[in-house]
Structure 1
Amino acid sequence: MKVNNIYKKKLILVIAIIILSLLFINLTNLLYYIAYTIDYLINRSTYHFKEEAQYKDNRLIQNDYFLTTFMNNNRNNRLDKLPRIESQPIPELSIQELTKENVEKVSKCFTEPFIVRGLIKEFDCVKKWNLEYFENEYGNIDVPAFSDNKTVSYSRNTSTRLKKCDKDTNLCSIREICDGIKKGEPVYVNNISKLFTVSKQAENELNLHKMSEIMNSSFFKKEKENKFMSQLFLGGKNTGTSLHCASNVNFFFNIKGTKHWGFIHPKYTSIIKCQTSEKGLFAISDDDFFSESENNPFLKIPRYEALLHSGDFLFNPAWYWHAVKNKTDYTIGVANRYIFDLFGEVPCISNNIFFSFLQLFSPSYYLQWASSYDKNKSTQEIYGTIVDKEILNNLSKSNAI
């Protein structure tokens, strides 16, 4: 009976999304979706990786042509006459101000970012974690690691390659990664779940259970603990992540070091040269948020910036564009991603109905879900394994260094 109710909910969801799409998505976007689907089917059946392709050119299966054509037209004409404006600080709440009403007000019902300084400073991960602790406790765990092969000052989603510490597995041990960071190498562990899927100790040290009483939010209640996927970020100075956005909300723990974050509201997506991923789970851009060049379009639109320090907490909403640059000798952070309940309180769809539309109607998205779902496994186990495997599979097809 319960299974039937789940299927009924999914059917209602599909019907609702179609209706919403017709109401809120204009004709151009509908045409784009048709083009996206055709292009997806053609490229999936005909595309072959070339030796010289690298990860950046792998994006051919991510429909760059159509997204560029339909969503980024006339950007320069629209921005040329606008003056440069200063960025604004990301809104902050103090620990004393953490009431449900204040959180919903400052985040506009969880659709805007906000920071709570020192919120997690007493958590085990903040007290214990550093490079030496990682080497001793988790040093033998192998994870994918990125190394910047360009002259840019920080690693990019679309131009980084897998650092080949082991010729057979394309993996680095956490011990090797920590050693590389100490030597000043631009190595970066980015969005990797494996530490938390294989080590219950590491997962427990995040103290996610404490967030329920601290945040006064139902996100962290016992019955919803299974909806989180945690991902590790570990890197040296000047590593980071280029401009991107994703379909789920992120309760980010800044555990060690200082990170420079930049945010752009989803409503400015039309001036960002970007593309969605194959499954519609995220979107990426080659645009450099932190560039001081006069040609940087983001200097002319509203944007947020902030420095996160050890013990700080950041709420990163769904589909909000953001870029990150690491400022200290090393940084450790964890993204605790809430794998959304479409009928729950998290507004993952509303920030970008168009991108959500592409995800929910991506054939690859449902094939992945159908092949990976296991009612006996946690969200961390299911999604963490999928994401890590996808990163490794994509990068192993390009030339590793």
Structure 2
Amino acid sequence: MSKKTRLLSALLCLLVLLGSMTLTASAISFTVGNNIGTGKVQTTENVGLTTDGKVTYAKATYTDSGSRTQAVYALEFNPKTSDYLPYVYSKYTGTGSSTYNTAIQAEDKYGAEVIGGVNATFYATATGSTYAGYWVHDGRLAQATAGMQNDIITFSSGGEVRIVNSKLDFKLYLNGREISSKGGSGIIHVNKKSVVDNVDDRFYYWDAECGTKTDSLIAGTEILCKKLDFGELSIGNTLKGEVLEVRADSYYSAVGKDEFVLYVKNGSPLQASVTNAKVGDIVEIAVNEMIEASKPYTETANTSLAAQYPIVKNGVADLTESLSQLGAEFLNARAQRTSIGLKEDGTVLFICTAGRNITDGATGLTVYELADLM
């Protein structure tokens, strides 16, 4: 029997409103007086979020060694031994939306049942997208950038969890003729937005993952296509579409259900490759995993998300890689933090900490403190 997908993308602060259920013996919980971080737990909430006790939520507040108020929120479940899977989704992939509104949209649009969740990825305000990596939900590639290589957490429909190194490449064809850029991919971004002065010469792909409008900001050629054969953009497969409309000098145009838009800006060298595109033409987009050993996992994943900044390895705090990527100033700053942990038995743990005096009066943790907490 296949797993039942449960969306884990509602605001963590709302979880306690869902009602108290029975807690399993192995569920995460906090106890007043126990050590946590550099202080002792002062207040707690330990809640079962499902009637079977398989998804649990816990909250603790404490005063750290610097007399600062801190708050920790935790969500735990095991996709291997339960009917619950992570579900990575954003209401508008290119521009973002509140986590709560994203959850409502996923319920309405995809029939997901919301249990709880967390803001799950770094977001670049300059590009309107994740810094690196990609995400997948329901097996569909929701957001990606060609050529980026980094670690990805994959979840199979059976709940198996893997961390693999992944690099995606896109092949774009119009009526069987490949459109490439300097020998490489003709497509650069999938459902990502670029600021006006940073729009790439290569093609952008948008579908309903970004909403009802494309995220293009300057005029270009937009080719609206209908998805054929019930296809979706997915790793290891080719999406086929039929051209419905070619829009010249267009941007921020409509895209509907079972449709996608290919956009290339005015003045791009690639614009000439679609000068003669017309209604009825066939567009094909192949998504290929370039790391051979990762194909069995990325091509079959129900859910995938970037594992971008490791802070714990094999149960020990190790920030060497993150220090090289983010720098000491970032790691030592106090702010809200989100992390995901994977236990040996397949249990998934989401940790969120409050910061900047926004919630529970908490000043926030450094990344080093977050690593020690994990």
TM-score (norm 1): 0.21
Q: Looking at both structures, which has the greater relative contact order when contacts are Cα pairs under 8 Å and sequence separation is at least 6? A: 1
Please identify which structure carries the higher strand content: 2
Please identify which structure carries the higher helix content: 1
TM-score (norm 2): 0.22
Structure showing greater radius of gyration is 2
